[in-house]
Amino acid sequence: MQREWIGRTEGAEIDFKVEGQEGAALRVYTTRPDTLFGATFMVVAPEHSLVGSMTTDAQRAAVEAYVQAASAKSDLERTDLAKEKTGVWTGAYAHNPAFEEGDERGRIPVWVADYVLASYGTGAIMAVPGQDQRDWDFASEFGLNIVRTVEPPASFDGEAFTGAGPAINSGFLDGLGVDEAKARMIAQLVERGVGQAKVNYRLRDWLFSRQRYWGEPFPVLHLEDGSHVRVPDGDLPVTLPEMEDFKPSDDGSAPLARAKDWVVASDPSGGGPARRDTDTMPGWAGSCWYYLRFMDPKCATAPLSPEAEEYWGNVDLYIGGTEHAVLHLLYARFWHKVLFDAGVVKTKEPFQRLFNQGMLTAFAYKDGTGRLVPADEVNLEADPPVSKATGERLEQVIAKMSKTLKNVVNPDDVCEKYGVDTFRLYEMFMGPLADSKPWNPRDVPGSRKFLERAWRLFVDPDADEPLRPGLGDDSGVTPEGPALDVERALNQCLQRVDDSFKAFNFNTAVAAFMEFLKGASSKGLNGSQASRFVRAMAPFAPHFADEIWSRMGHAGSVHHAAWPAVDERFLESDEFEMPVQILGKLRAKVMVSREASRDEMEAAARAAVADRMEGKEVVKTIVVPGRLVNFVVK
RNA sequence: GGGGAUGUGGCGGAAUUGGUAGACGCAUCGGACUUAAAAUCCGAAGGCCUUGGCCGUCCGGGUUCGAUUCCCGGCAUCCCUACCA
């Protein structure tokens, strides 16, 4: 994603002479120099610096009106109206350098249109309607010439053809493929001094100053002669002054400018008068390196000490939404790389692992016309849900939480009704962390019910005791009988919990807890098992676990207790239920020892499906040790 | 238009390296307890024919003894971004 955002493209810059404009050529950037013969007009952005001088008197009024209108539109409006192409001819002609001087085919009109952006490339394009759909649209709209310079396949019935094919109508390029034609054209442009190969980036500048109070002040002093110097290291950091009123001002000046005493400083070299810079840095200034400062927040002499960096290393795991992938995370990497080059940090990358969590969505309801109905107008008691107003049956769909749909879930309300542990447990139970998934209010009580059941495993509701007898003593005893079954179940549960941390699918850990609880409820726990179960539950239901932990007689928090280890001796039982297949289809199941040999497995399998095998010839037998047996028959 | 991801019951979702599809939960249905209800506990349950089968992981092909999983080609949905030349 970051690669796309940086948006490296390879192409060429080409200069077009404009009639009547000596010296000032119109420079364009293109990724398709091979299509130059098909450039039948040019378009410049309304903000382009040559618009004024190129425009002829006859066209001046129309062009000025168009430029005016474009500048009044916000970026949003300009892209909003993207469907229809608008533009005005400047009255000027340029010469397409693919053709000889004086060749009528090379005389092409120059237009102004807002589909060309001033902020990308050179703010001007050569329009090749035959190979670019936007140019095709514009040409159709205004009756401009269209020449194909790439031969589309016979089956092609579209408009602009952007695919690969042999060059046509292109003089010395005819017959060449796209890549070869690009290279030849660039070589020729270079030879004639009217163009060169060029790499372009989509990455945009990002303004780094704000006229707000909250933010880091720039450690910069303005001197009387208009120059500026850095605040000396010994005077760092520059801290914000205390201000009564730190709201942004109406005229756009920085709030800090009103802190008159603070602004006054002196030139560190000469002692003459100086003024502090009153702009502050934006929020992302801090977000670009906070993870470093967190390693050593009190260090007074550097961003962080080498010892702190050594100890904490670089960030093991960064969990964030994908919305951060191209802005915050890209710029944090930039900063880190600069700090690496400056010798401040020892690593080239800030984060060892990035994990994008999914987005929580919510159910929304659609009526027959496809309109989304706000949640408060839906009767959810009905099945299927119906509109409260009309009684119409509604289709349940998944949508982003939004104010207009009134399907936003407020965590406070959920915690108020079910408790924080239930809220947390439900979120973990919903599905894998990476997936986006819908919040279903109906499912939440299930998590609450599980916690209540787990509570009763430890606390007898009919007794006055803080804990069921025996659960406070966690001395290890070799389990036997029913306790052995529980021991196996517990270790399998702990194994699944550990696995869930590795895969970030905590839902399977919660499922493991639920399954374990079902067995343990009827058989009971010993103290050691109770202790391990509670410790494993701690990350999932922290308050629940801490309460039980203290009732077990521990002084400290369960969150400081050791993580329960899996004892592999108890992971697997001696026997397993082996599936027997014929031609890949399940035909029987039979209990077999885990240690059974291939022959033993096959014999058990044959016995289990003997009646089905009568009169059939076994062509092949597949035995997967510890797994299954499959007979291929004729 | 570009990029990223995802398609499994009524719903959220399970399923190491290809090896019992549907774990766990919700909703549903049945039972126990109760004067009754709530709560709690126990049980049933993918679909279609009937006592043993057939069909089933978005659709169509392929590889394989065996495909939710691997390969090829489609379709759909979500997120981000966008006249990027």
In a domain, residue A247? The reply is: yes
* A415: its two tokens: 């915690």
Nucleotides of B under 7 A from a protein CB: 2-4, 6, 11-15, 17, 19-21, 23-28, 40-42, 53-54, 65-67, 78-85
User: Do residue A19 and residue A165 come from a single domain?
Assistant: yes
In a domain, residue A153? The reply is: yes
Strand B at less than 7 A from CB of A125: yes
Alpha-carbon distances of A297 from A303, A347, A604, rounded to whole Å: 8, 19, 67
3-state secondary structure of A109: strand
In a domain, residue A363? The reply is: no
Strand B at less than 7 A from CB of A598: no
Q: What is the pLDDT of residue A78?
A: 61
Q: In what order do the strands lie in the sheet with A228-230?
A: A228-230, A220-223, A273-276, A264-266
pLDDT under 50: residue ranges of chain A: none
Q: A555-612 pLDDT, tens per residue?
A: 999 999 999 999 988 887 778 888 999 888 888 888 888 888 889 999 999 888 888 8
3-state secondary structure of A611: helix
In a domain, residue A512? The reply is: yes
If you search the block for the tokens 């959810």, which residue do you land on?
A380
Name the DSSP letter for residue A315: B
In a domain, residue A362? The reply is: no
User: Do residue A315 and residue A336 come from a single domain?
Assistant: yes
Strand B at less than 7 A from CB of A500: no
Q: What is the pLDDT of residue A158?
A: 74
In a domain, residue A430? The reply is: no
Strand B at less than 7 A from CB of A437: yes
Q: Are A263 and A217 in contact (CB under 8 A)?
A: no
Structural domain harbouring A62: 2-200
Q: Are A510 and A493 in contact (CB under 8 A)?
A: no
Q: Are A282 and A208 in contact (CB under 8 A)?
A: yes
Q: Are A116 and A44 in contact (CB under 8 A)?
A: yes
User: Do residue A40 and residue A148 come from a single domain?
Assistant: yes
ipTM value: 0.93
User: Do residue A517 and residue A589 come from a single domain?
Assistant: no
In a domain, residue A143? The reply is: yes
Q: What is the pLDDT of residue A83?
A: 60
- Of A239, A218, A40, A283, whose CA–CA distance to A140 is shortest? A40
Omega of the bond leading into A152 within 30 degrees of 0 (cis): no
Instruction: Render A317-343 in DSSP notation, one character per residue.
Output: -EEEEGGGTTTHHHHHHHHHHHHHHTT
Q: Distance in angstroms, CA of A158 to C1' of B72?
A: 26
User: Do residue A265 and residue A323 come from a single domain?
Assistant: no
Alpha-carbon distances of A360 from A11, A224, A394, A439, A577, rounded to whole Å: 41, 55, 22, 7, 39
User: Do residue A21 and residue A159 come from a single domain?
Assistant: yes
In a domain, residue A419? The reply is: no
End position of a domain, from candidates A234, A258, A281? A281
- Of A241, A231, A217, A218, whose CA–CA distance to A267 is shortest? A231
Nucleotide closest to residue A4 (CA–C1'): B3
Q: Distance in angstroms, CA of A485 to C1' of B28?
A: 33
User: Do residue A584 and residue A555 come from a single domain?
Assistant: no
Label the pairing between strands A395-400 and A360-366. Answer: antiparallel
Query: Which residues in range 383-402 of chain A are in contact with strand B, contact meaning CB within 7 A of any of its atoms?
Result: 383, 396, 398-400
User: Do residue A336 and residue A463 come from a single domain?
Assistant: no
**What is the C-alpha separation between A572 and A593, in angstroms, rounded?**
11
Instruction: State the SS3 of A530-543.
Output: HHHHHHHHCCCCHH
- Of A172, A101, A98, A89, whose CA–CA distance to A138 is shortest? A89
Query: Which residues in range 295-334 of chain A are in contact with strand B, contact meaning CB within 7 A of any of its atoms?
Result: 322-323, 326
If you search the block for the tokens 């040559």, which residue do you land on?
A50
Q: What is the pLDDT of residue A377?
A: 80
* A22: its two tokens: 């000596």
Q: What is the pLDDT of residue A80?
A: 55
Q: What is the pLDDT of residue A384?
A: 67
Q: Distance in angstroms, CA of A631 to C1' of B50?
A: 27
Strand B at less than 7 A from CB of A70: no
Nucleotide closest to residue A572 (CA–C1'): B16
Sign of CA dihedral A326, A327, A331, A332: negative
Q: Distance in angstroms, CA of A360 to C1' of B66?
A: 38
End position of a domain, from candidates A281, A299, A318? A281
User: What is the CATH number for A143?
Assistant: 3.90.740.10
User: Do residue A28 and residue A116 come from a single domain?
Assistant: yes
Nucleotide closest to residue A11 (CA–C1'): B85
Q: What are phi and psi of A287, to 5 degrees?
A: -70, -15
Nucleotide closest to residue A589 (CA–C1'): B20
**What is the C-alpha separation between A623 and A609, in angstroms, rounded?**
15
- Of A90, A292, A313, A119, whose CA–CA distance to A203 is shortest? A119
User: Do residue A463 and residue A490 come from a single domain?
Assistant: yes
Nucleotide closest to residue A439 (CA–C1'): B12
Q: Are A314 and A347 in contact (CB under 8 A)?
A: yes
**What is the C-alpha separation between A177 and A170, in angstroms, rounded?**
12
Q: What is the pLDDT of residue A454?
A: 95
Q: What is the pLDDT of residue A370?
A: 67
Q: Distance in angstroms, CA of A553 to C1' of B14?
A: 37
User: Do residue A60 and residue A9 come from a single domain?
Assistant: yes
Strand B at less than 7 A from CB of A583: yes
Nucleotide closest to residue A85 (CA–C1'): B83
* A433: its two tokens: 């962390």
Sign of CA dihedral A72, A75, A76, A78: positive
User: What is the CATH number for A514?
Assistant: 1.10.730.10
Instruction: Render A273-286 in DSSP notation, one character per residue.
Output: EEEE---B--HHHH
C-beta neighbour count of A150 within 10 angstroms: 26
Q: What is the pLDDT of residue A75?
A: 57
Query: Which residues in range 522-541 of chain A are in contact with strand B, contact meaning CB within 7 A of any of its atoms?
Result: 522
User: Do residue A610 and residue A477 come from a single domain?
Assistant: no
End position of a domain, from candidates A324, A357, A390? A357
Q: Are A531 and A552 in contact (CB under 8 A)?
A: yes
Q: A66-109 pLDDT, tens per residue?
A: 998 887 775 556 655 556 788 999 999 999 999 998 899 999 99
Q: A532-554 pLDDT, tens per residue?
A: 999 999 999 999 999 999 999 99
How many distinct structural domains can be found in chain A?
A: 5
